[in-house]
Amino acid sequence: MLKLDQVSKVYTSHHQEVRAVDRMSLDIQAGEAVALQGPSGCGKTTMLLMSCALLRPTSGTVLIEGNDPYALSANQRSAFRARHVGFVFQQFHLVPYLNVRQNILTANVPARRADAQQRAAKLIQQFRLEARAKHVPAELSVGEKQRVALARAVFNQPALVLADEPTGNLDPDNARIVLDALRQYADEGAAVLLVTHDPVAAARAHRIVHLDKGHVVEE
**Which range marks the domain in which residue 180 is found?**
2-96+158-218
Query: Does residue 195 form part of some domain?
Result: yes
Contact 204, 129 (CB under 8 A): no
Residue among 97, 150, 141 at smallest CA distance from 123 = 150
In tens, the pLDDT along 113-155 reads 889 999 999 999 999 999 999 999 999 999 999 999 999 999 9
What percent of the chain clears pLDDT 70, i.e. is strictly above it? 100
The per-residue DSSP string of 91-158 comes to T----TTS-HHHHHHTTHHHH--TTHHHHHHHHHHHTT-GGGTT--GGGS-HHHHHHHHHHHHHTT--
Query: Does residue 118 form part of some domain?
Result: no
Q: Which residues contact 74 (CB under 8 A, 6 or more apart)?
A: none
Sheet holding 2-13, edge to edge: 16-28, 2-13, 59-64
Query: Does residue 129 form part of some domain?
Result: no
Sheet holding 207-212, edge to edge: 85-88, 160-164, 191-195, 33-37, 207-212, 215-218
SS3 217: strand
Query: Does residue 167 form part of some domain?
Result: yes
Contact 145, 173 (CB under 8 A): no
The total number of structural domains that make up the chain: 1
Q: What is the mean pLDDT of residues 1-21?
A: 89
In tens, the pLDDT along 28-83 reads 999 999 999 988 888 888 999 999 999 999 999 999 999 999 999 999 998 899 88
Query: Does residue 149 form part of some domain?
Result: no
SS3 73: coil
Q: What is the mean pLDDT of residues 108-115?
A: 83
Query: Does residue 116 form part of some domain?
Result: no
CB atoms inside a 10 Å sphere around CB 111: 15
Looking at the predicted structure, is the pLDDT value of residue 14 above 90?
no
Query: Does residue 108 form part of some domain?
Result: no
Name the band, by pLDDT with cuts 50, 70 and 90, for residue 218. confident
CATH code of the domain containing 44: 3.40.50.300
Query: Does residue 117 form part of some domain?
Result: no
